[in-house]
Amino acid sequence: MQVKPYTALQFGEINVDRCVESEGDFFPPAKFFPMSTPERIDAERDWMEPHYILPKSQGGRLQAGVFAYVIRTARHTILVDTCVGNDKTRSFSPAWHMKQTAWLSDLAAMGVVPEKVDYVMCTHLHVDHVGWNTRLENGRWVPTFPNARYIFARTEYDHWMQEQEFAGLDGCFADSVLPVVEAGRADLVKTDFAIDDSIWLEPSPGHTPGHICINLKGGGKSALFTGDSFHHPLQVAYPEWSSQFCTDKVQSAATRRKIVDRLCDTDTYMLAAHFSGANAGRVRRKGDRWKLVV
């Protein structure tokens, strides 16, 4: 299967691109999706290999990425999720500990300098979605995007304020969330918050209690940024498979099934947070299951 690389999408006057922090090998399927079986995974290899999952002869590991979406409208520059970040102590994942990447320079090369970002929208507050919210400056964590309003769902914020020891945070609340709030740059919003009539939130609980998806429409087209409601295209085929990191696995599965049913055989793009390569796709029926078509 040859998968074209990701290219920017146009929704009328709205441009959607992405800035990649990392991409490549992820977990073995059985580790990340405890409900999976080798037989069911094999049934989807015709559309997933080699880009979303490696052939068994090469180890069979899932493929994934960590990146931020960059939305540019006529009025605003918006980031959706901000990856892992640099210089941060991370004990749970050694690969994310004290990272040093060129992500911020890569973002500038796209024409997006920190001062020009108007909104940072976090689908949820796990460690790999908030890292570049802040950067280290003279020994202090300060907002990376000094003029932006950071959009956090209040339900999400309130939950993790009380549960900061959860492994999925790995210290990020203290160094990537609280400094933004303390700087007065955060807006704690309801899960139906809208920037305007082209970009608005909707609740998608399960992976985390206050997880949100982001709707976009323009030029007669539409997209749904699904965050970690879906970690991998396998969950398009099997929405009942929740990851080991979902706080409510039953609710997470119900949210995914609702999204699959809504998007199936429509022209709405699914833009997930970790799908590798040409991750912008549409959901299509495949027998009694579904697949992602790019």
The ranges assigned to domains in the chain are 9-293
Q: Residue 270 has what pLDDT?
A: 98
- How does pLDDT run across 247-287, given as a tens digit for each residue? 999 999 999 999 999 999 999 999 999 999 877 999 999 99
Question: pTM for this structure?
Answer: 0.96
Q: Residue 7 has what pLDDT?
A: 82
CATH number belonging to domain 9-293: 3.60.15.10
Pull the structure tokens for residue 263: 């998007």
Pull the structure tokens for residue 184: 């007065």
Q: Residue 222 has what pLDDT?
A: 98
Q: Residue 244 has what pLDDT?
A: 87
Distance in angstroms (rounded) separating the CA atoms of residues 197 and 59 = 46
Residue 136's contacts (CB-CB under 8 Å, 6 or more residues apart) are: 86, 87
What is the DSSP secondary-structure string of 171-196?
THIIIIIHHHHHTT-EEEE-TT-EEE
Q: Residue 4 has what pLDDT?
A: 55
Residues of the chain with pLDDT under 70: 1-5
Three-state DSSP class for 170? Answer: coil
Q: Is 154 exposed, middle or buried (0-12, 13-18, 19+ CB in 10 A)?
A: middle
Q: Residue 2 has what pLDDT?
A: 42
Q: Residue 6 has what pLDDT?
A: 75
